[in-house]
Amino acid sequence: MHIRSVCMRDCYDTCFMKVIVEDGIIKTIRPDPENPITDGFLCARGVADSSRVYRNRVMYPHVNIGSKPKGNFMIVSWDNALGIIIRKFKEVLENYGSEGVLHLEYAGNMDLITWYFPQRFWNVIGAAKTDYSICSRSGHEGISLHYGLSYGVLPDELISMKLIILWGFNAAVSAPHLWMQLLRAKRDGCKVVVVDPRRSETAMQSDLWIPIKPGTDVWLGYGMARTLIEGDLIDKDFIERYTFGYELFVNEVMKYELENISEITGVSKELIIKFAEIYSHIKPSTIMIGLGVQKSVNGGETARILSLLPALVGQHRGFYYSNSRGFYVNVGYLTGEDLLLNKVRVVSQVALAEHILKGEFKFIYIYNMNPLLTLPGQKYLREGLLRNDVFVVTHTPHWNETCIFSDVVLPAPTYLEKTCITLPYSHNYVRISERAVEPLGESRDEVWVVKELAKRLNIECGLIYEDPWDALRKVLEGAVEGSFEELLSGKTLKLKYRPRDEYQTPTGKIEFYSTTAYKKNLNPLPKPVMKSLDNGRFTLLNTASPLYTHTQFWEVYGDPRPEVHVNPDDAEELTIKEGDIVEICSEDGCVELLARIDGSLLRKTLWVQRQIKDINGKSLNTIVPVETQLVGGGPIFNSVKVKIRSR
Ligand SMILES: Nc1nc2c(c(=O)[nH]1)N[C@H]1C(S)=C(S)[C@@H](COP(=O)(O)OP(=O)(O)OC[C@H]3O[C@@H](n4cnc5c(=O)[nH]c(N)nc54)[C@H](O)[C@@H]3O)O[C@H]1N2
Ligand SMILES: Nc1nc2c(c(=O)[nH]1)N[C@H]1C(S)=C(S)[C@@H](COP(=O)(O)OP(=O)(O)OC[C@H]3O[C@@H](n4cnc5c(=O)[nH]c(N)nc54)[C@H](O)[C@@H]3O)O[C@H]1N2
Ligand code: SF4
Ligand SMILES: [Mo]
């Protein structure tokens, strides 16, 4: 028997899958050709989900009767576990009010129902939430300043491109199916250019690699703009018709001298000119703005300037970032935010560690996330969670680092054990993902848990008890090309997509000069901060790896190796040899990793697989500061300044 499923992982691709089930057990998972973008193959993670579903699972509710962070977990009944949670919850509400409660989640599972709908409960209570800034928010907010919404080119369109620029985007690893589209386009003559401080897996297969010093992309963006404008390589009619604030933009552009740009970025003047000429002459083109490059001190600003380049050469939204905002789906209805009038406290997700350290939250409920490895400022986060007055509940399918800092751990089914549906963030194909097997052990889904909590608290608000599928009907009907009934019956539909030549800005145009930014007291034009140019120290690059989704799949592929890659000349200068233990220190702390000598890196850069542990089991994020970006409050994972030395 095969079940029609969809991969729910936080991934650009959102693959359609066939899950082969025999006697109630998952045997294998195969690609499903019903989705033309993800047809043909699954990545190592998609395939591994068939065995991972049976490994390292939390099967029953557990209470921590030992001392955190290790603890001694005892199995209890759901009734018991919920009773304990409610007692603590009431105590916190009485003493600190609803602001003493925080729910913390991200995209561990992107199912619309079990990710968003449970938030209704927390919103009804009035609990604090985060700003979801850990991944893509700065880029979204940055591009939105100029375009209204941040959606761009759809994957189906990549095949007809003649030039694709991957800017701080390692698609060969992080988006294997988008990459496949690029390879197909390449076979038809499309040129592929990669801008990256590292000769990445993607750069190796490109036509042109532009090595750039980390964090300096805004300068290169302005260098491109200047060359295009001065060389009269722009589309004046387009600029006239569809844009606002061009003259002000030109004034800003002229402040950037090519000589200076070249020095800052490490990209020669000749290469900047060549790059701009290619960009002007080869069309249609797309600039694929990586989530990676966006997670740096100048990340949001980089997304801004890169999104404006297509407007110079006359292309409507000639970029791809993340298309989640191109759909007509009102997620705020699912979370209840649109219906509730109470304003809840919103706290920075990137800087959460600081707030937790101060004891601002006494009851923390975590699901869909493993913050004890993935949030910056681990030293503070860990110290904060170990306070005596902080109670932590984690709802998870697999045991993870966060569990050992929790007082109660609740078992959740994986996406293969529940019927779900998700919105992709690249393509616009959508389909129900059917439950493949019954939930393992006593695992119960996220909606069930919050409804139980609500009942026990005698909360009568109808929002919490609405059938989530009825809620889903309200947000998806009208948003898909077809009916909700067709979706329910298992048909693949397309999500309606906003037109690429529609601009949701106050002027209705592409705003080179952002009127929204002006009103918000932000720079109306993209502007880098100089901080990233601290050349005395090394910059640590963090990248997604092929075998893992963040901290998932360790139970299949083993713990990721505690390694750091070092440029050979830097290694020689510092007398670091292959396999040496090296200490890497930022202002926030140190980790110890094994050195790998790697010629694919620029000098003064180091490269690690993100979210790993060091040789002593310490989280890499111990050395990542809780610093936030100006636009969108995003993280600066790729701008961590460190010193490295042999031990
Ligand atoms: N296999 C796999 N795929 C994934 C994920 C996963 O965990 N595993 N996670 C998904 C998620 S949530 C995300 S956020 C994405 C991330 O995927 P991507 O958007 O591809 O981002 P990264 O892998 O973080 O880095 C991409 C590239 O940016 C480069 N880079 C770093 N700093 C700079 C800079 O300052 N300038 C420039 N020009 N380049 C820079 C890095 O060297 C790297 O090659 O991947 C998604 N896909
Ligand atoms: N150093 C460094 N750190 C980073 C980054 C970086 O580049 N460098 N990148 C950041 C980025 S881009 C991102 S997106 C974040 C990702 O950060 P996280 O969202 O924390 O990443 P994951 O490891 O995918 O989280 C997995 C957890 O989600 C939970 N989960 C999975 N499926 C389900 C489910 O069906 N139900 C429930 N209840 N729980 C489930 C499990 O507990 C699992 O352990 O990490 C950030 N952290
Ligand atoms: S993790 Fe991404 S590439 Fe791999 S199967 Fe899932 S959606 Fe596809
Ligand atoms: Mo991410």
Task: Count how many Cα atoms sit within 13 Å of the Cα of residue 628 in the half-sphere of its side chain.
Answer: 20
Report the relative pairing of strands 129-130 and 346-347 from DSSP bridges: parallel
> Is the residue at 196 inside a domain?
yes
The finding on whether 598 has its CB within 6 A of some atom of ligand 1 is no
CA-CA distance, 187 to 437, in Å (whole number)? 41
> Is the residue at 515 inside a domain?
no
Residues near ion ligand 4 (CB < 5 Å) are: 135
For residues 8-28, one letter each, b for 16 or more C-beta atoms within 10 angstroms of the residue's C-beta and e for the rest, the string is bbbbbbbbbbbbbbeeeebee
Ligand 3 site, CB within 6 A: 7, 9, 11, 13-15, 38, 42-43, 45-46, 176-177, 549
User: Residue 13 has which token pair?
Assistant: 């691709």
Q: In the listed set 432, 465, 494, which residue is the last one of a domain according to the structure?
A: 494
User: Could you tell me if 488 and 397 lie in one domain?
Assistant: yes
Tell if the pTM clears 0.95, that is, is over it.
Answer: yes
The finding on whether 195 has its CB within 6 A of some atom of ligand 1 is yes
User: Could you tell me if 380 and 346 lie in one domain?
Assistant: yes
Q: In order along the chain (647 residues), what is the average pLDDT of each group of 10 residues?
A: 96 98 97 95 98 98 92 96 98 97 98 98 96 98 98 98 98 98 97 98 98 97 98 98 98 98 97 98 98 97 98 98 97 92 92 98 98 98 97 98 97 98 98 98 98 96 95 97 97 98 98 98 94 77 97 97 98 98 97 98 97 97 98 97 95
Ligand 2 site, CB within 6 A: 10, 106-109, 134-135, 291, 295, 367-371, 374, 395-398, 400, 412, 414-415, 446, 542, 549-552, 610-611, 620-621, 624, 637
What was the pLDDT predicted at 343?
87
Helix/strand/coil for 301: helix
Residue 16: CATH number of its domain? 2.20.25
Which atom of ligand 1 is the closest one to the Cα of 214?
Answer: 35
> In 3D, which of 244, 354, 218 has the Cα closest to residue 296?
218
> What is the 189 CA–ligand 4 centroid distance (Å)?
31
Residue with tokens 């300068």: 219
> What is the 177 CA–ligand 3 centroid distance (Å)?
8
* Residue 169: partners with Cβ closer than 8 Å, 6 or more residues away: 175, 202, 288, 289, 290, 291, 292, 293
Closest Cα to atom 17, ligand 1: which residue? 174
CA-CA distance, 605 to 541, in Å (whole number)? 7
User: Residue 368 has which token pair?
Assistant: 């869909």
> In 3D, which of 550, 644, 552 has the Cα closest to residue 601?
644
Contact criterion met (CB below 8 Å) for 82 and 416: no
Report the relative pairing of strands 408-411 and 391-396 from DSSP bridges: parallel
> What is the 426 CA–ligand 4 centroid distance (Å)?
13
Q: Whose atoms come closest to the Cα of 168: which ligand? A: 1
Q: Whose atoms come closest to the Cα of 31: which ligand? A: 3
| The CA-based dihedral angle spanning residues 34, 38, 42, 45, taken in that order and rounded to the nearest 10 degrees | -120
Which atom of ligand 1 is the closest one to the Cα of 298?
Answer: 35
Q: In the listed set 27, 52, 77, which residue is the last one of a domain according to the structure?
A: 52
> In 3D, which of 10, 9, 13, 17 has the Cα closest to residue 434?
17
Contact criterion met (CB below 8 Å) for 5 and 15: no
Residue 542: CATH number of its domain? 2.40.40.20
Residue 85: CATH number of its domain? 3.40.50.740
Parent domain of 23: 2-52
Helix/strand/coil for 552: strand
User: Could you tell me if 422 and 487 lie in one domain?
Assistant: yes
CA-CA distance, 49 to 7, in Å (whole number)? 9
Chain center to CA of 586: 23
Number of independent structural domains in the chain: 4
Query: Position 518: which residue type?
Result: Y
User: Could you tell me if 298 and 176 lie in one domain?
Assistant: yes
> In 3D, which of 147, 153, 166 has the Cα closest to residue 526?
147
What was the pLDDT predicted at 338?
84
Which atom of ligand 2 is the closest one to the Cα of 620?
Answer: 1
> What is the 311 CA–ligand 2 centroid distance (Å)?
35
Q: In the listed set 494, 514, 549, which residue is the last one of a domain according to the structure?
A: 494
What pairs with residue 607 in β-bridges? 541, 565
> Is the residue at 575 inside a domain?
yes
Closest Cα to atom 3, ligand 3: which residue? 43
* Residue 293: partners with Cβ closer than 8 Å, 6 or more residues away: 167, 168, 169, 195, 217, 299, 302, 303, 638
> Is the residue at 436 inside a domain?
yes
Burial of 72 (0-12, 13-18, 19+ CB in 10 A): exposed
Cβ atoms within 10 A of the Cβ of 187, count? 9
> Is the residue at 333 inside a domain?
no
Closest Cα to atom 5, ligand 3: which residue? 46
User: Could you tell me if 141 and 92 lie in one domain?
Assistant: no
| Among 8, 53, 106, residue to substitute to test ligand 2 (most atoms within 8 Å of Cβ) | 106
> What is the 134 CA–ligand 2 centroid distance (Å)?
10
CA-CA distance, 267 to 270, in Å (whole number)? 8
User: Could you tell me if 31 and 128 lie in one domain?
Assistant: no
Which atom of ligand 3 is the closest one to the Cα of 38?
Answer: 8
Task: Count how many Cα atoms sit within 13 Å of the Cα of residue 291 in the half-sphere of its side chain.
Answer: 20
> Is the residue at 332 inside a domain?
no
User: Could you tell me if 141 and 288 lie in one domain?
Assistant: yes
CA-CA distance, 497 to 494, in Å (whole number)? 9
Task: Count how many Cα atoms sit within 13 Å of the Cα of residue 169 in the half-sphere of its side chain.
Answer: 29
> Is the residue at 368 inside a domain?
yes
CA-CA distance, 49 to 8, in Å (whole number)? 11
Closest Cα to atom 18, ligand 2: which residue? 369
What is the DSSP-derived secondary structure letter of residue 160?
T
What was the pLDDT predicted at 534?
64
Residue with tokens 């090309």: 481
What was the pLDDT predicted at 530?
74
Residue 287: CATH number of its domain? 3.40.228.10
User: Could you tell me if 360 and 308 lie in one domain?
Assistant: no
Which atom of ligand 1 is the closest one to the Cα of 539?
Answer: 32
Which atom of ligand 3 is the closest one to the Cα of 42?
Answer: 5
> Is the residue at 532 inside a domain?
no
> What is the 8 CA–ligand 4 centroid distance (Å)?
14
The finding on whether 292 has its CB within 6 A of some atom of ligand 1 is yes
User: Could you tell me if 266 and 279 lie in one domain?
Assistant: yes
> What is the 441 CA–ligand 4 centroid distance (Å)?
30
> In 3D, which of 270, 371, 350, 345 has the Cα closest to residue 627?
350
User: Could you tell me if 129 and 144 lie in one domain?
Assistant: no
The finding on whether 174 has its CB within 6 A of some atom of ligand 1 is yes
CA-CA distance, 5 to 18, in Å (whole number)? 6
Helix/strand/coil for 541: strand
> What is the 196 CA–ligand 1 centroid distance (Å)?
10
Rg (CA), the chain: 24
User: Could you tell me if 96 and 128 lie in one domain?
Assistant: yes
User: Could you tell me if 12 and 91 lie in one domain?
Assistant: no
